[in-house]
Chain A
Amino acid sequence: MEKKKLSDDILLQFLDGNLSEAETDFIQESINENNENQVRLRELEIVHEFLKRETSLLTPSTNFTEKVIKGLHKKASPVFLSPKNGFLLIIGLLIASLLALSLLSTDTINQLQTNFNFKDLPLNIKNVKMPSTFTFNMTLFIRGFVIVNLILAFILLDRTILRPIFQKRSNMIF
């Protein structure tokens, strides 16, 4: 007569060696005489053997202790932008740049070029030499603004999104 199907609990205790000699003999017999028990034992045994073999201690970097001791009195560093906030800021910078560029493409921007005449100012400073005029070029200012925005956007993209992702991926364990 074929023996009864054993529970996973009993099979795991059998693998752990937690059963008495009599119990072990009985379970062994049940396994030998029931194909379902044999298959399930094999499935659990694969996991058991793997965990026994693979669960070993890992070694951290050589300067681990040194870093801990250095950090004992260090105050918590301020948190840099999260990827989500970084992404939103990049979008904001790009929108501002696009608006500035669209202004450049219209003719109205050229009419904003102005000459300041310092002699017209109500100031009477004799010892300081003042330039007579100062030209403010709006086109140049907007171009500068767009370039600075794009540089900032690239830095943000690198610091808040790309670098953390690649760092995380390079350390990923599979």
Chain B
Amino acid sequence: MITTQEEYSLIDRVLAGDEASYALLVDKYKSYAFTIAVKILQNKGEAEEAAQDAFIKAFRYLNNFNKQAKFSTWLYRIVFNTAISYKRKNRNQFESIENQIIEYSDRSDIEMKKDDKRFFINQALLKLSDADRLAVQLYYMKEYSLEEIAEMLNQNINTVKVRVHRARQRIADELKKILKEEAVNL
């Protein structure tokens, strides 16, 4: 476990040219960075690429980190923005073909997985905006306070609170719409 002070001294060593110290920071935060990217991109391969790219960007701009916030908060903001730009880029590339594939697989999956609660909630989660989905998932990770989540997403704390509540409401409503009365008996 690295304390904030130890983390700052690691950052100083990285800035002085010690790349091995950066490997320690990557090791510490890679799972969170990867999880955030997966939540946005819904694709493990792309998420890994985006998370690695975010760490590389963070290294290049490390001297801009002013030590007033947590390193993790600053890093996750970079991960969030990188993943969003990956998503935009890939959406442009695959939109027409992928839409057809998703439509087909949805139909067949619904036929096969009528009782799969997890599947339906995931479907409902995918209908949320990236910011709403990430806000609610970070909230349930219990690792960060609402203030930190707000900082990560570059938003006001009240906006994040609203996002978390609204996301849960929407998932519940979406689930109700999909399963109608069956949702409450699951």
A interface residues with partner B (beta carbon < 8 Å): 8-9, 12, 39-40, 42-44, 46-48, 50-52, 54-61, 64-65, 67-69, 71-72, 74, 82-84, 161, 164-165, 167-174
Consensus secondary structure, chain B interface: helix
Contacting pair A58 B38 (CB below 8 A): yes
Tally inter-chain residue pairs, CB-CB below 8 A: 130
Given A42-B184, A43-B184, answer yes or no on A65-B30 (Cβ-Cβ < 8 Å): yes
Partner of B34 from the list A9, A55, A56, A64 (CB cut-off 8 Å) is A64
Set of chain B residues within 8 Å of A84, measured between Cβ atoms: 93
Set of chain A residues within 8 Å of B31, measured between Cβ atoms: 57-60
Alpha-carbon distance A152/B52, docked complex (angstroms): 33
Q: Is B32 an interface residue (CB 8 A)?
A: yes
Alpha-carbon distance A47/B168, docked complex (angstroms): 7
Alpha-carbon distance A173/B35, docked complex (angstroms): 12
Contacting pair B97 A165 (CB below 8 A): yes
Task: Give me the 9 closest cross-chain CB pairs, A-B, nearest first.
Answer: A171-B45, A55-B140, A60-B34, A51-B140, A43-B172, A68-B55, A171-B43, A65-B26, A58-B35
Alpha-carbon distance A169/B42, docked complex (angstroms): 11
Contacting pair A72 B19 (CB below 8 A): yes
